[in-house]
A and B are shown apart, each in its own frame.
Chain A
Amino acid sequence: DIQMTQSPSSLSASVGDRVMITCRASQTVSSYLHWYQQKPGKAPTLLIYAATTLHSGVPSRFSASGSGTHFTLTISSLQPEDFATYYCQQSYSGSSFGQGTRLEIK
C-alpha cells in the first residue's frame, strides 16, 4: 500500500492569506497525484489532477506542484469559500487518500 501523509492536519488562516498544504507519499507516485476540496456535508470536488493541472472551472488562485513523493497545493489568496478540508489522492498503485487538511478561518 502507498501511504499518503498531509501536513498540516489543520490550519488557521485569514482571507487574503497565501496557504500551502503538503502531501508526501511513502513511495513514488510519479505525477499520479490529485487534490480535492470538501465542504461540510458535501461530496468532495476535484481541484487539481496529474499533480499540476487545474480542473475545469477551478479558480486560478489554486495551484499545485511536485512529483515523485513530495507535492504541494497552494492557494494564493484565500477567499471565504476556500475554508474547507483538502485531500490528496494517489492513483499510481490502486488508490489512497491523505488524512486531510482542515483549513479554518483565523
Chain B
Amino acid sequence: DADVTQTPRNRITKTGKRIMLECSQTKGHDRMYWYRQDPGLGLRLIYYSFDVKDINKGEISDGYSVSRQAQAKFSLSLESAIPNQTALYFCATSVAAGGPGTDTQYFGPGTRLTVL
C-alpha cells in the first residue's frame, strides 16, 4: 500500500464551487506539505504543517485554506474555485528536522484538478 495517498486522483469542478483535496499518510511523519504544479513553473509550496497545531503559509497561499485533522491527515480546500487554480496538486511528508533523513520529502500520487 502507498505510504502517502491523495483523494481524489482527478477532479473536474466549476467556477465558484468549494472543493477539498485530501491527503493521508502512514509514514508517521510530523511534517506535511501541499504543492501545486503548473507547466513551466515547476512545483510551488501552498501550505505546510509541522504538526496538528502548527500550520504555515507557503509561497502561493491566496485562495486556499488547509486543515490538519490529525497527524496523518492534511486537507487542502479551495473555498471558491477559479479557472487559474487548474493544476496538479501534490501532498508531501517528511520527518521533523534534526533526525536522519530530514531532508527527504515523500510525495503522494497527485490530484489533477480542472476548474471550468
* Pairing of A with B: no
Residues of B with Cβ closer than 8 Å to A?
Answer: none
